[in-house]
Every structure is written in structure tokens, then in C-alpha cells.
Amino acid sequence: MKKKICALLGVLFLSTAIIGCGGKTEGVKSSSADGKDKKEIIVGASPVPHREILEKAGELIKKQGYTLKIVEFTDYQTPNIALAEGQLDANFFQHVPFLNKTVEEKKLDLDYTVKVHIEPMGVYSNKLKDIKEIKDGAEIAVPNDPTNGSRALKVLQSAGLIKVKDGEVISKLDITENKKNLKITEVDAPQLPRILSDVDAAVINTNFAIEAKLNPTKDALLLEDKDSPYANIIAVKKEDKNKEYIKVLSKVLTSPEIKKFIEEKYNGSIVPAF
């Protein structure tokens, strides 16, 4: 089992950071094996802003007698599998609809504890300066996963570019009105900033926009309403939800200190959800 976990880590994880903890890590332990006295909390996260928020949280968690170990992921699929298999104690990269869809499709025994922040999705372009400049037949790229793809289509609807059917999960097949004959191209979410020069516009998750040095409040042609229901959450195994170290993690990530950190660091492009 240890060899299997190490092999998976070598393939899936880019890097590991340990907050408030000295020495070398010797692999990932399952949460269930650590019992009541567990003092190291292993959390999987995407790089921006999740890892940055967790690094700040690690300073506060240390004061509670725990250490925080962050395992970085760059995709949307493996963090929930790693959590379900006990390689992580929690993960922090996704919103509620994405977790619900993944749990339903993969039959995972996962839940969430708290909502931490909202990342308003935006429309970006290297060719246009205003959303009104989108012409007939323009190509617009959107994420290819069901929940973020649905969200992107609703952003385009809010701009008056298309109309779509009601529903939490929709696809481009559910477009009911497309007067500009827009070409909707589905692309892996992390790749969207990289293809901006190849399309007229793209609807990009804020975390990937920030990683690509795009400023959501300055560079987006349109930003999703900040009352969006897509709050990013701390996901855990259901059996671990009420364990003390998970309660500490959840409390710290919804503390006044973390709220202030999010507000000051991201200047409105990322909004606290608590």
C-alpha cells in the first residue's frame, strides 16, 4: 500500500508544502489510521488561491497544536479520489455543485464542512476590449467539465449572448437561443488561459486566470455576479466530518483572520463566503 501511495503521489502531485512542521515527510497516511491523536492535517489543494489561503491558515492552525501539510493538484479529478481513498484528510479546490456531481457519478462517500470563498468566473479575450465586440460566428471556449461548463454558459447568458435551459447541469446542447451563431468550444479548464490567442474569448475560472497573471477585476470583459452559489468548500470523508482536527481546520478557514487575508490579498477578485 505504501508503494502504491508513493507512486500515486509521484504522478499526481507537483509539490508538497509543510506548514509549521520540521523534517521530511515520509508519505501520506490515511486519516482513519491516525485516530484521535492525529496532529498533522493533510489537505489537497489547487495552487491559486487555495494553496495560498491554506498557507495563511497553517500559521493559525499551528497555534491550535496541529500542523498543516498541503499537497498540490493541478486537475479537478484526482483530489476527490485521493480523499476518498484516505490519502488526504480534506481537499480544497472545488465548489458545491462540482462535489455533488462527482459524488453522484463516482459513488464517493464525501461531504463538505464549510464554504470558504467565491471565485467569480469571467470572460477574457486577447482580441476584444468589450463584451459588446463579440461578433457573429465568434468562437468562445468554456470548461469541459459539466458543472463549470454549465456555469460558463450561464455567464454567457447573463451577458445576453445566448439563452439556455433551466437546470443546474447543462451543456451546449441546451442552448435555446444563439442569435450570433457563436461557436462554443469545450476545453480542459486549466488550458483555457493558454488558448486565448486561438479563440475570440474564453470563460475562465478565477483560480486559473490568476495563475495566468490575469487580473479578474481589470482584465475580464465580464465577471460573474458575486452572489454566485458556487462557493469553494472544504471537502472531507463523511466519517471524518466531526473529528476534532477537521473542526479545527474548518474553524480556522472561516475565521476573521482568513476573511481579512482574502479581502486584502485578492482585492475583490475572490470574495469570502462566510
Phi and psi, residue 79, nearest 5°: -60, -35
pLDDT band at 229 (very low <50, low <70, confident <90, very high): confident
Give the pLDDT confidence score for residue 74 in this predicted structure: 93
Predicted confidence (pLDDT) at residue 214 exceeds the cutoff of 90: yes
Calpha distance 269→194 (Å, rounded): 20
Statement: residue 15 has pLDDT above 80: no
- Decide whether 2-119+230-272 matches 122-223 in CATH topology: yes
pLDDT in the model for residue 190: 95
Please give the residue that has the higher pLDDT: either 21 or 228.
228
Query: Which residues does residue 222 pair with via DSSP β-bridges, in sequence order?
Result: 123
Please tell me the predicted confidence (pLDDT) of residue 228.
83
At residue 152, the pLDDT reads: 98
pLDDT tens digits, one per residue of 121-158: 999 999 999 999 999 999 999 999 999 999 999 999 99
Mean pLDDT calculated for residue range 245-257: 98
CA distances from 253 to 115, 191, 257 (A): 9, 29, 9
**pTM over the 0.85 mark:** no
CATH superfamily of this structure's domain 2-119+230-272: Periplasmic binding protein-like II (3.40.190.10)
CA–CA dist 132, 176 (Å, integer): 20
Q: Please provide the average confidence, as pLDDT, over all residues in the chain.
A: 89
Instruction: Please tell me the predicted confidence (pLDDT) of residue 36.
Output: 62
Q: 122-223 maps to which CATH number?
A: 3.40.190.10
pLDDT tens, residue by residue, 37-82: 799 999 999 999 999 999 999 999 999 999 999 999 999 999 999 9
Domains of the chain, by residue range, sit at 2-119+230-272, 122-223
Q: Which residue, chain included where needed, has cell 482580441?
A: 127
Mean pLDDT, residues 188-209 taken together:
97
pLDDT of 25 over the 60 cut: no
Which pLDDT score, from 0 to 100, does residue 149 have? 97
* CA 250/CA 242 separation, integer angstroms: 10
Does pLDDT of 22 surpass 60?
A: no
